[in-house]
Chains A and B, each alone.
Chain A
Amino acid sequence: MNTSKLMDKEAIRRAITRIAHEILEKNKGTDDLCLVGIRTRGVTLAARINEEIKTIEGTKPPLGILDITLYRDDLTLIDSQPIVHETQIDFDITGTKIILVDDVLFTGRTIRAALDALVDFGRPSSIQLAVLIDRGHREFPIRADYVGKSIPTALSQNVRVILQENDQSQDEVIVEDAEKR
């Protein structure tokens, strides 16, 4: 299998720091700000961004966890139901500025599901999107407000984000050619 490294640990760290700065700049601080990570790696990234924000600003916005399984539009297409994990948003999102965080932005369907889920929790004043990788091939009119790195990929390729917390392996982003089926 043909694989190549897109980002290493340092690159990821720098991207997260930059995104945190951009978020604060654009939102003029942390007032009404909250972060919601999409399971699984979006949650890890959101937590890291939140730490950065605290380092810069001294305060930490509330952090939520979103599982979008129940909002997926492909449930009838797959053989067996994916495992549903808990969603934990313990704060009222009405009137907040939500930073939705995911690892890779691809077709946009996950974000579509996440937006549907979020509006069920309340009426935020705005939702912004932060992703580590934007790999193109959008199927929905969705774009990210904060991007760690934009990479052109082929549809046949897989982009894998490896994070210490989730994968017990050093941070990196790799792109690999999908196995021929």
Chain B
Amino acid sequence: MKEWTKHDLLDIQELSKEEIELVLKTSKSFKEVSTREVKKVPTLRGKTVVLLFFEPSTRTRISFELAAKRLSADTISISSSGSSASKGESFLDTAKNIEAMNVDLIVMRHSASGAPKIVAEALAPSVINAGDGCRAHPTQALLDLFTIKERLGRIAGLKVGIVGDILHSRVARSNIWALTKLGAKVTLCGPATLMPRDIERLGVDLCYDLNEVIAASDVLMVLRLQKERMQEKFLPSIREYARMFGINRNRLKAAKKDLIILHPGPTNRGVELSADVADGDHSVILEQVNNGVAVRMAILYLLLGTKEK
């Protein structure tokens, strides 16, 4: 197998198919660590991982923190919400200050697309993009792939429906790159007002009929609908959204028996997913959370092994 040479993980586009497969394979090995009595290995002892979150996050931050700790790395968590400009210090300044403390890796989330890329280009430590604006969330896509592959045994040839607010979703974007690269057939489904322009040029299909998508899919990836979208007038009402694009037990009657449903969390129960579906047999939401730690351990392990850029 090809060696891992990437110094940062900023988006899925930059990974080759082989690199994605290496991550998935490595993740499988790391998943076992979390099942042990002592859920910790000494691999990254002495390494310092900074979790630099310019945008609030609980799940992703905890998942990374747990991953780093299970590898014996030291973690520091820094939350800095609000526009950096308002504090008179640019985000790059903040990052440079952290670099000066000799850290080995920065896990960064930012509400502006591209911010982790700028930091990675300017700084020596490895940078993992834990979500930037609407652009990319590569570790989420990797853990989604891992979950799908674990459940269905393959990615190539699967029909995957991504349902919801595509326009504002970095999860959707990263998954589109990842899934198409591994040979899945992706169909996007959601309100036309929340479809980014020219998205079909990325090699995906569009369909506004959820029932059609459900019937055809092996995997449904359901996105979170942010309440803010109502104020921005993208949608008439939550009620109408739930009616048109919400997934409930009744709709799933037409689904394949072994359909799996993913959601990046946190779910708006009763909006994009009904409670019984979220907790039902098709749902793999909790497996995604569990796999997230293993995938992030694998990424940390791989990135911290590459030499300085």
Residues 90 to 122 of chain A near chain B (Cβ within 8 Å): 116-117, 120-122
Cα–Cα distance between A85 and B33 once the two chains are bound (Å): 11
Cα–Cα distance between A75 and B302 once the two chains are bound (Å): 11
Q: Give the size category of A's interface with B.
A: 20 to 34
B87–chain A nearest beta-carbon distance, Å: 36
Stretch in B1-9, B91-99, B149-157, B160-168 with 4+ CB within 8 Å of A:
B1-9
Are B43 and A80 within 8 A (Cβ)?
no
Q: Is B26 an interface residue (CB 8 A)?
A: yes
Are A83 and B42 within 8 A (Cβ)?
no
Cα–Cα distance between A88 and B307 once the two chains are bound (Å): 30
Cα–Cα distance between A84 and B1 once the two chains are bound (Å): 12
Task: Point out the residues of chain A lying under 8 angstroms from B36, CB to CB.
Answer: 120-121
Cα–Cα distance between A177 and B36 once the two chains are bound (Å): 41
Cα–Cα distance between A81 and B29 once the two chains are bound (Å): 14
Q: Is A87 an interface residue (CB 8 A)?
A: yes
Determine which of A67, A70, A80, A120 lies in contact with B5 in the assembled complex, contact meaning CB atoms within 8 Å. A80
Q: Is A79 an interface residue (CB 8 A)?
A: yes
Q: Give the size category of B's interface with A.
A: 20 to 34
Determine which of A80, A85, A86, A120 lies in contact with B41 in the assembled complex, contact meaning CB atoms within 8 Å. A120
Cα–Cα distance between A81 and B1 once the two chains are bound (Å): 12
Are B25 and A70 within 8 A (Cβ)?
no
Cα–Cα distance between A84 and B41 once the two chains are bound (Å): 12
Cα–Cα distance between A121 and B40 once the two chains are bound (Å): 10
Residues 21 to 38 of chain B near chain A (Cβ within 8 Å): 22, 25-26, 28-30, 32-33, 36-38
Cα–Cα distance between A85 and B26 once the two chains are bound (Å): 7
A residues sitting closer than 8 Å to B (CB atoms) are 67, 69-71, 75, 78-81, 83-88, 116-117, 120-122
4 closest residue pairs by CB, A with B: A81-B305, A70-B41, A120-B38, A80-B3
A-B contacts besides A71-B43, A80-B5, A81-B4, 14 pairs, CB < 8 Å: A70-B301, A71-B42, A75-B43, A79-B307, A80-B3, A81-B302, A81-B306, A83-B22, A84-B29, A84-B301, A86-B28, A87-B33, A120-B37, A122-B37
B residues sitting closer than 8 Å to A (CB atoms) are 1, 3-5, 22, 25-26, 28-30, 32-33, 36-38, 40-43, 71, 298, 301-302, 304-307
* A–B pairs, 30, beta carbons within 8 Å: A69-B43, A70-B33, A70-B41, A70-B42, A70-B43, A70-B301, A75-B305, A78-B305, A79-B307, A80-B3, A80-B4, A80-B305, A81-B4, A81-B301, A81-B302, A81-B304, A81-B306, A84-B26, A84-B29, A84-B298, A84-B301, A85-B29, A86-B32, A87-B29, A88-B32, A120-B36, A120-B40, A121-B36, A121-B37, A122-B37
